[in-house]
């Protein structure tokens, strides 16, 4: 089965169950351009540390400029995007597709983090069986297939394969993406709550999304990693740079830096202090630190939701992007 998007600037989800069943159906995409900028800064490259070592802080400015230049305030593609050479357009679509997938995971599914775990130093992949039984509608994944992201929501783990495109995906493309999502059996010994294939189509008439979590049990490789390293990876933008107090731009308790004139990216200082404290050596202590971070985020979740405004994008991970440039950010639409 595949989902049909009913209207432009909408996302469509299929086959979610249990507490996530409310995602099924067609809904308005309520993201602002500030949301997409923040999501690009959080998932726009696999290793922030390596990116900063190689190319410096301009990478963040480039991602911000990408969202500003290629999407208008209503998240329609601009003429500049449509005039790109095809090969360049594919690369831009890939990154923007990841950003929209991050927005869906954190806004719609209430995940705290969506991470490229492949870049973690502690990563260890298990061996895939000779034949992997793919989920319904999926093609058989390659033994070396790996999904793009692992999502975190308290004790839950979610698997995502993300695709950014300019056209709706063919059945073969959907099957391949579902196959990649099927390739992960467990995350640190826990079966993923969902294994999602996400497709976001970038158009002049608006962005369309399609998210599928088909029934069936994924069978394939296992992956293990240090979850404290993963949590810290979510904050490396702040842990590896010089932060300043952003009280004037964001209010009290936020630190971070300006990306460019009028654009500020910050994080709740209390969360950063816990996540960035000296690393404990004992395994139990490291697990306790992870639990402490998630408890703090859960306690402050309503505060973060209350910070979402026309020009401010707040994440459940404690991050906040404020775009104070002239022209403003379009008002959020309510869900249909």
Pairing mode of beta strands 113-115, 124-125? unpaired
Nearest C-alpha neighbor of 222 from the set 252, 186, 192: 186
Q: Hey, what are 157's tokens? A: 């783990």
Question: Residues near 97 by Cβ (< 8 Å), separated by ≥ 6?
Answer: 162, 163, 164, 165, 198, 199, 200, 202
> Running DSSP on this structure, what letter comes out for residue 283?
H
C-beta separation of 322 from 33 below 8 A:
no
**Rounded distance between C-alpha atoms, residue 88 and residue 99, angstroms:** 17
> Token pair 């992870």 is at which residue?
290
pLDDT at 333: 45
Phi, psi of 190 (to 5 degrees): -110, 125
**Could you give the 3-state DSSP secondary structure of residue 115?**
strand
Per-residue confidence of the chain (336 residues) as pLDDT tens digits?
Answer: 233 232 345 667 777 888 888 888 888 899 999 999 999 999 865 555 565 565 556 788 999 999 999 999 889 999 999 999 999 999 999 999 999 999 999 999 999 999 998 889 999 988 765 554 555 666 666 656 677 799 999 999 998 988 888 888 778 888 888 777 777 888 999 889 988 889 999 988 888 898 888 666 656 788 999 999 999 999 988 998 789 999 999 988 999 999 999 999 999 999 999 999 999 999 999 999 999 999 999 999 999 999 998 799 999 999 999 999 866 444 444 444
pLDDT at 131: 52
pLDDT at 45: 56
Q: What residue ranges do the domains of the chain occupy?
A: 10-225, 231-323
pLDDT at 172: 83
List, as one string, the DSSP characters of 66-98. Answer: HHHHHB-TTSPBPHHHHTS-HHHHHHHHHHHHH
**Could you give the 3-state DSSP secondary structure of residue 253?**
coil
pLDDT at 9: 57
pLDDT at 12: 74
**Rounded distance between C-alpha atoms, residue 206 and residue 203, angstroms:** 5
Task: Indicate the Cα dihedral angle 267, 273, 274, 276, nearest 10°.
Answer: 90
Phi, psi of 239 (to 5 degrees): -70, -25
């Amino acid at each position: 089965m595949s989902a049909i998007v009913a209207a432009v600037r909408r996302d469509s989800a299929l086959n979610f169950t249990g507490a996530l069943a409310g995602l099924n159906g067609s809904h308005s995409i309520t993201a602002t351009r500030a949301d997409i900028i923040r999501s690009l800064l959080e998932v726009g490259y696999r290793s922030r540390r390596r990116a900063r070592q190689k190319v410096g802080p301009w990478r963040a400015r480039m991602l911000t400029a990408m969202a500003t230049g290629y999407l208008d305030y209503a998240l329609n593609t601009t003429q500049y995007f449509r005039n790109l050479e095809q090969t360049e357009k594919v690369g831009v679509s890939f990154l923007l597709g990841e950003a929209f997938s991050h927005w869906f995971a954190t806004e719609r599914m209430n995940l705290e983090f969506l991470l490229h775990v492949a870049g973690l130093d502690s990563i260890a992949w298990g061996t895939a069986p000779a034949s992997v039984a793919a989920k319904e509608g999926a093609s058989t994944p390659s033994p070396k297939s790996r999904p793009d992201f692992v999502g975190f929501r308290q004790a839950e783990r979610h698997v995502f394969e993300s695709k950014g495109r300019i056209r709706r995906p063919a059945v073969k493309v959907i099957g391949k993406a579902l196959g990649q999502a099927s390739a992960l059996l467990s995350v640190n010994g826990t079966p993923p709550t969902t294994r999602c294939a996400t497709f976001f189509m970038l158009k002049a008439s608006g962005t369309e999304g399609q998210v599928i979590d088909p029934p069936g049990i994924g069978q394939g490789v296992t992956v293990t990693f240090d979850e404290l390293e993963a949590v810290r990876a979510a904050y490396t933008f702040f842990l590896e740079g010089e932060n300043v107090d952003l009280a004037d731009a964001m209010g009290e308790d936020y630190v971070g830096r300006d990306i460019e004139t009028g654009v500020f990216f910050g994080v709740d200082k209390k969360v950063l202090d816990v996540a960035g404290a000296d690393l404990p050596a004992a395994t139990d202590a490291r697990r306790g630190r992870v639990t402490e971070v998630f408890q703090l985020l859960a306690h402050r979740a309503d505060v973060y939701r209350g910070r979402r405004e026309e020009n401010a994008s707040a994440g459940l991970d404690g991050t906040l992007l404020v775009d104070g440039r002239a022209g403003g950010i379009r008002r959020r639409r309510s869900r249909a």
